[in-house]
Structure 1
Amino acid sequence: MTRGPYETRLDPALWAYIDAVNAWHPPEIIGLPIDKQRAVYDRMSRAFHQGRPPGVKASDGLIAAAGRDIPVRRYRLEGNAAKAMVVYYHGGGFILGGLESHDDICAELCAGTGFDVLSVDYRLAPEHLHPAAFDDAVAAFEWAAARSGLPLVLCGESARGNLA
């Protein structure tokens, strides 16, 4: 990999991480069929999984919404009265990712903030065209607003940052 002017500006440990990610997720993945892209992404997510921080508990559930159920995972820090809830929409270019691929991120958010985190497993393209993901995001937000009793923080990265 050509590092150019960044060679000396980034810590060697960060370069090692970048190299590891690139080894798992090479640029040519974009040309693969969606199911193969998902398989590579899922394997990479499992390989990099660090586990949940101590005290973070997660429970899976479903949100009923207009003729469908939306899978969600709620993270809570044991012995902590959360002051807010993060509604989290994972990244993945609208086609990749889910509850498992972003489990670490959500658990770390919970541990680091003390907030509850609700991770939303919205429908992916191309099987579900627009506005399916948007509809799922709104339904999860409305569910959390009606039931959590906590202030809400919308959070997402990459493609789903725009949903937040």
Structure 2
Amino acid sequence: MTDVTVGATPVPEEAALPVHPQAQALLDALEAQGMPPFPQMTVPTARAATKGFLDLQGEPEPIAVEERRIPGPASQLPVRIYTPDGAGPRPLVVYFHGGGWVIGDLDIVDRPLRSIANRSGAVVVSVDYRLAPEHVAPAAFDDCYAATVWAAEHAAELGADASRLVVAGDSAGGHLAASVAQAALDRGGPAIAAQVLLFPVTDFAFTTPSYSENADGKLLTRGAMEWFWAHYLGAQSDDIEYLCPGRRADLSGLPPAYVATAEYDPLRDEGEAYATKLEAAGVPVTRKRFEGLLHDFLWTLGATPVGAPILDEVADAVRKV
């Protein structure tokens, strides 16, 4: 197991650090604004509140951006395509935003994806999949798999190389990327060269130590995750194919993975357990725990710039394909 980091400074994995001052300042500011917990919000209110994270992300980098609609399983899917300068063909990243399958959209990851595309030299296709509770599981997964198939089939048109296809996402998007990688292996394609899983959800369970340690007061709470899962599942059981990537018995043959976790995140342990399980199956894994930071700080890099090295690490994982 590799060392973990705060920013770019390695520390032994067993060394626990307090919440980083930048992360604590963010928590204090959110508390001062009186933002209620997700379980106390309606879905429309939660979606509107999510827009506030855009002000925490810094200035957007310039890059060529195209809005398109592509065929989906139930309707046309909006996608946003980022194409950096330079000659192709480039790596191709299909990206799924976070938000517990309930909130989030193309805008919430627009600024991070501009940076990742510029730093990696990859074409990035960001997918606006259907959200719950209007569309329960497996609608989001179905959309993301269909978008990945489309991107692979249209790689040349996009100036990208289909043999260097990466699936990526943050939080619930990391869950969807892991699930798409598994489905692509089972279904004979598309061939995926790497998976980038940022703070991923990998199981429908709330029993890990990180869920206990970070149940409240650390941005994402246990109650919020229960709220997200309830909306995504609806009245269904959790016996849905590709719903819990961490429960898959055989992970051999999956593409190399970059797995990032944050210390003060309820999802920390399930993300790291999935990385360990991938390694045990012989899958090459690069893992990084960002000590002192909160869940999905990709959304708050303007307020918590200590986490900015994650952009270079994701770009490096993409370039390696």
State the percentage of identical aligned residues: 36
Question: 3-state DSSP class of the match of 1:47?
Answer: helix
2:19 matches 1:28:
no
CA RMSD of aligned residues (A): 2.1
Q: Any idea what SS the aligned residue of 2:65 has? A: strand
Structure 2: distance between partners of 1:80 and 1:24: 46
Q: How many residues align?
A: 155
In the alignment, which residue of structure 2 is the partner of 1:6?
18
Deviations 1:83-138 (A, max 9, x none): 20110000001100011111112111101211111000000000011111111001
Which residue matches 2:100? 93
Instruction: Decide which of 68, 71, 75 is 1:61's aligned counterpart.
Output: 68
- Once residues 33 and 171 of structure 2 are traced to their aligned partners in structure 1, the CA distance between those partners, rounded to angstroms, is 19
Within the candidate set 172, 193, 215, 1:159 is matched to 172
Residue aligned with 2:106, SS: coil
Q: Is 1:40 aligned to residue 49 of structure 2?
A: yes
Task: Answer yes or no: is 1:102 the counterpart of 2:109.
Answer: yes
Give yes or no for contact 2:85–2:121 (8 Å, CA) kept in 1.
no
2:319 counterpart residue number:
none
1:137 and 2:137 are equivalent in the alignment: no
**Deviations, residues 13-35 of structure 1 (Å, cap 9, x unaligned):** 44334444555684523321111
Q: TM-score, normalised by structure 1?
A: 0.83
The residue that corresponds to 2:90 in the other structure is 83
> 71-80 or 32-41, which moves further after superposition?
71-80
For 2:34 and 2:173, the matched residues in 1 are separated by: 20
Partner residue in 1 for 2:24: 15
Structure 2 partner of 1:148 = 155
In the aligned structure 2, how far is the partner of 1:104 from the partner of 1:48?
10
SS of corresponding position for 2:44 = helix
Counterpart in the other structure of 1:50: 58
Structure 1 residues 104, 22: closer, same or farther in 2, change over 3 A?
farther
SS of 1:61's equivalent in the other structure is: strand
AA matched with 2:106: L
2:125 alignment partner, one of 118, 122, 125: 118
SS at match of 1:109: helix
Give the conservation status (yes or no) of the 8 Å contact 1:82–1:114. no
| CA distance in 2 between partners of 1:69 and 1:24 (Å) | 37
CA contact (8 A) 2:99 2:171 kept: yes
Amino acid in structure 1 at the alignment position of 2:82: Y
Q: Distance in 1 between matches of 2:34 and 2:120?
A: 30
Q: Which runs of 5+ in 1 are unaligned?
A: none
Instruction: Point out the structure with max Rg over C-alpha.
Output: 2
Q: Distance in 2 between matches of 1:91 and 1:45?
A: 12
Instruction: Say if 1:25 and 1:71 are closer, same or farther in 2 by CA, change over 3 A.
Output: farther
Regions of 4+ moved over 3 Å: 12-15, 17-27
